[in-house]
Amino acid sequence: MIDHPLVLIEGERIKEVRSDGQVPDGYMRIDLGNATLLPGLIDCHVHLASDPTQSSGNYYKDVLQMSAIDFAVSAHVFAKRTLEAGFTTVRNLGSAEYIDVALRNAINRGDIAGPRILAATLPLGATGGHADDTTGFSPYIEFHGETGVADGVDAVRRRVREDVKRGADVIKFMASAGVLSAEESVGAPQYSQAEMDAIVDESHRWGKRVAAHAHGSEAIKMAIKAGVDSIEHSSLIDDEGLKLAKQHGTYLVFDVYNDDYILAEYTRLGFPASTIEKEKKVGRLQRESFRRAVKAGEKLAFGTDAGVYPHGWNGKQFAKMVEWGMTPMQAIQAATTNAADLLGWSDKVGAVKPGYYADLVAVDGDPLASVAALEHVSFVMKGGAIVKSPAAR
């Protein structure tokens, strides 16, 4: 904590952080008054190419009438909302047809506004599993397009290479069943240990970190043993899984906000009753697992699964993290220093330090007193450029 900080910025980087209030000659001064300044926030689990606001209220109609093109033309809107909410860096853990790669590239070129993106492209998954969009439909309905479905050691290695070839920054695979898909289980393993080992080995060979979608306790432990860098959701992790995560230095990413949104809105959005029932089984247990993980001192990073709920609401998760065991400072660190460490970007983002990107956000009030302040970011700067600001001073 620094009182009355002065951050000197040159180009897209921070040059110096001081507290003497003296602005050197040649600098434009931006006065944020009594606001609290923080590093740009990081969400380690988003899906910028989808949003529940796109739903017609009929799940099957949406699946059959919307294509990847519909999602692609809207993705820039959700990217901008995310950035204006104070999240200057995100890890996009899967999208159809490499939309996240094209979105990342357009943002990097300066064509559109959005956060820094680490893209996962197509997530790997087993036939009939959480990444298989044809599950639950008639075998006579054909879905065309790229898919991450791959079975067997050789096939998953080939799929990792294809994702890397197409621009993946990180590899995502489905270690277990899921909630928002048609298979009956929520958490059963969907890959063998040999397949998980091969995915991680091949990804690390290409210098890519690995995120594993895993709700069930057995799938979580298998993925940790395989050497993944993070477990996504982590819903039903048991004590053995917590010990393994600590031993392996594995990050756990709990999306502990979106249970509220799913239970409140997904019936209205036309999702099958089986989906709602699966969420009822896992939501509360996930939050209890999160509390145990906090007490155990696990490595925890901020990730919300944005796209399951509307983009731009990412900050709502901070209050849930505090409600279920974190201090406000721990919650903030999960979305800054910890998240940057998980991404492998600890020398670029997640802190206000010389040499780092000038990614800065500000909120009114003190988020250590009320972490909900982070739901209302008033100032956003990315790479030295002001994205959002109160009245200029």
Give residue-wise pLDDT tens across range 32-89: 989 999 999 999 999 999 999 888 788 778 888 888 999 999 999 999 999 999 999 9
Which domain does 323 fall in, by range? 40-349
CA distance linking residue 201 with residue 212, whole number of Å: 13
pLDDT digits (tens, 9 = 90+) for 202-211: 999 999 999 9
Q: What percent of the chain has pLDDT over 90?
A: 84
User: pLDDT confidence of 151, banded at 50, 70, 90?
Assistant: very high
- 388 lies in a domain? no
Rounded (10°) CA dihedral 214, 217, 222, 224: 70
Mean pLDDT within 236-249 = 98
Residue 285 lies in a domain: yes
Residue 141 lies in a domain: yes
Q: Residue 393 above 60 pLDDT? A: no
pLDDT in the model for residue 271? 87
Q: What is the pLDDT of residue 248?
A: 98
Q: Is residue 206 part of a domain?
A: yes
For residues 296-309, average pLDDT: 98
pLDDT at 323: 98
Taking only the tens place, the pLDDT of each residue in 3-40 is: 989 999 999 999 999 988 788 999 999 999 899 999 99
pLDDT band at 96 (very low <50, low <70, confident <90, very high): very high
267 assigned to some structural domain? yes
Both tokens assigned to 16 = 């110096």
**pLDDT value for 20:** 83
Show Cβ contacts of residue 329 under 8 Å, excluding neighbours closer than 6 positions. 368
Domain at 170, CATH number: 3.20.20.140
DSSP 21-62: --PPTT------TTPEEEEPEEEEEE-TT--GGG--S-HHHH
pLDDT surpassing 90 at residue 274: no
How do 36-39 and 13-18 pair as beta strands?
unpaired
Reply yes or no on whether the pLDDT at 392 is more than 60: no
Asked if residue 245 belongs to a domain, the reply is: yes
What does the pLDDT look like over 195-235, one tens digit per residue? 999 999 999 999 999 999 999 999 999 999 999 999 999 99
Instruction: Write down the mean pLDDT value for the chain.
Output: 95
Name the percent of the chain lying above pLDDT 70: 99
- Whole-number pLDDT of residue 21: 78
* Structural domains in the chain (count): 1
Integer Cα distance of 308 and 53 in angstroms: 10
- Mean pLDDT value of segment 176-185: 87
Would you say residue 291 has pLDDT above 70?
yes
Assess if residue 23 is contained within a domain.
Answer: no
- The pLDDT confidence band at residue 391, using thresholds 50, 70 and 90, is low
Tokens 């906000």 — which residue? 257
Check if the beta carbon of residue 119 is closer than 8 Å to that of residue 104.
Answer: yes
Question: How large is the average pLDDT for residues 374-379?
Answer: 97
Q: How confident is the model at residue 181 (pLDDT cuts 50, 70, 90)?
A: confident
Q: How confident is the model at residue 246 (pLDDT cuts 50, 70, 90)?
A: very high
Contact 92, 45 (CB under 8 A): no
Within a domain: 143 = yes
Describe the strand order of the beta sheet including 41-46 as a list of residue ranges: 41-46, 87-92, 116-119
| 92 has a pLDDT exceeding 80 | yes
> What DSSP designation does 227 have?
T
Lowest mean pLDDT among 104-113, 129-138, 335-344: 129-138
Sequence-distant (6+) residues with CB within 8 A of 179 are 186, 215, 262, 275, 278, 279, 282
